[in-house]
Amino acid sequence: MISRPKGTNDLLPTESQKFVKLTNFTHKFMKKYNVEFIRTPIFESYELFHRNGELSDMVTKETYDFLDRANRKLTLRPEGTAGIVRSYVENKIFSPGHFSSYYYIGPFFRYERPQKNRYREFYQIGAELIGNKHFTQDAELISMAYNFLKGIGIEDFKLKINYLGNHEELSKFKIDLSNYLKPLKESLSKESQLRIEKNPLRILDSKSETDRKLLINAPKTLDYISQKQAKEFQQTLKILDKKHISYEIDHTLVRGIDYYSEIVFEFQTSELNSSSHNAVGGGGRYNDLVNELGGPKVSGVGFAFGVERLLNLKNSLNSLPENIDIFLTYIDDVDSLDSYIIFSNLRMKNFKVYFGYKSNTLKTEIKNALGLGSKYLLIFDSKTSGKGIVQVRNLQQHSQVELKYEELDAYLRENLEVKK
């Protein structure tokens, strides 16, 4: 037997229902926000993710890099933002004075140590707003991500926010942070010791308890930003307050990717049962990336959610609109013909119907119908179907009526408000 590669998942029908619901929800949700769908390649040039100065752990340790048959150096995309910005620049889809908004759904690859909620191939749903910068966009994007989570039924999460500043402020901050940490080096965790020189920022979000205690008096990025930046940040937070979006300022939130500047945020939940992988999503602003990749001097802000993590949350997608309205089943094989013909007719009339091809026990069929979110179960039983009568069970009200075949259409139409 050949097994699937380590860190990958098969999405089997029990879970795939939820995935389909999630993608359908995403398309509708993004339309409401006027965000357009974009798809970029799953592999990109190696250089896109390994640009000068990129020292994030993701790039140094976690990318899948390979040579193709013509010796081109390529990388399986570890995240979506760089590819979208590459596409934005390459296709010149920028319009001065405006901003463009895109969303994406797709697989990403990181060579990590696999465990629950941390995979080598995983899916993300993300969005990027690129163009003229304004603090209302930060607020718009964060509330969009927040409403997305609420929209799929997730209530139990924390929104953490921090403000990093730009390259200049961050460079000063990094020096001071290093200087603060150096005398503590011996007491820090092994991982953090390795980061002191190369990537001190990441020490801030270390999960080690000892590290966290040592960080209590560490410098804070908010003390390094300009007055203008502080004012913009406050304005963004004010909008969130007005929209009743609750958040916490977390001085240790730095995020794992190096392109961030100014605002960063993360959605965390304790439900994922893992101290280090409790983020369902996150994002922030990137002021330099577009220009660094050859585009105009415009900024971007975006977020991405981990799809597997969303699907693993117990309340996600429980109450989204049902997939089907009517489930048809039959008790005896002799009734399968009638039920199949009626199923085909209802489908042609735009009802959302499902035909249980194999007659299971009635109890199982009720369970199946409920699993698909069906409102009605039509039962064809030879005791009545010989007389052209079907049992119509309302699964929400637990009631049942008998109807003649010719009455079905009008009855269902009236109760389900199906458009012709």
Residues in the site for ligand HAM, rule: CB under 6 A? 79-81, 110, 112, 117-119, 122, 124, 126, 128, 256-257, 279-284, 302-306, 308-309
In whole angstroms, the minimum distance from the beta carbon of 2 to ligand HAM comes to 23
CA 327 vs. chain centroid, Å, equals: 30
Strand order in the sheet with 376-380: 353-355, 326-330, 376-380, 389-394, 399-404
Site of tokens 């970029």: 40
In whole angstroms, the minimum distance from the beta carbon of 81 to ligand HAM comes to 4
Whose Cβ is closer to ligand HAM: residue 137's or residue 391's? 137
In whole angstroms, the minimum distance from the beta carbon of 221 to ligand HAM comes to 17
What token pair was written down for 238?
A: 């004010």
Whose Cβ is closer to ligand HAM: residue 200's or residue 281's? 281
- Closest listed residue to residue 105, CA positions, set 20, 10, 11: 20
Whose Cβ is closer to ligand HAM: residue 287's or residue 359's? 287
CA 96 vs. chain centroid, Å, equals: 29
Pairing of strands 64-67, 158-163: unpaired
In whole angstroms, the minimum distance from the beta carbon of 87 to ligand HAM comes to 14
Whose Cβ is closer to ligand HAM: residue 192's or residue 299's? 299
Identify whether the C-beta of residue 302 lies closer than 8 Å to the C-beta of residue 283: yes
Identify whether the C-beta of residue 416 lies closer than 8 Å to the C-beta of residue 380: no
Pairing of strands 99-109, 121-131: antiparallel
Identify whether the C-beta of residue 82 lies closer than 8 Å to the C-beta of residue 40: no
In whole angstroms, the minimum distance from the beta carbon of 137 to ligand HAM comes to 12
Whose Cβ is closer to ligand HAM: residue 100's or residue 124's? 124
Identify whether the C-beta of residue 327 lies closer than 8 Å to the C-beta of residue 391: no
In whole angstroms, the minimum distance from the beta carbon of 172 to ligand HAM comes to 24
Whose Cβ is closer to ligand HAM: residue 160's or residue 375's? 160
In whole angstroms, the minimum distance from the beta carbon of 119 to ligand HAM comes to 4
Whose Cβ is closer to ligand HAM: residue 79's or residue 232's? 79
What token pair was written down for 256?
A: 């794992």
What token pair was written down for 181?
A: 């940490």
Q: How many residues does the chain have?
A: 420
**Can you tell me the distance from the alpha carbon of 372 to that of 322, in angstroms, rounded to the nearest whole number?**
7
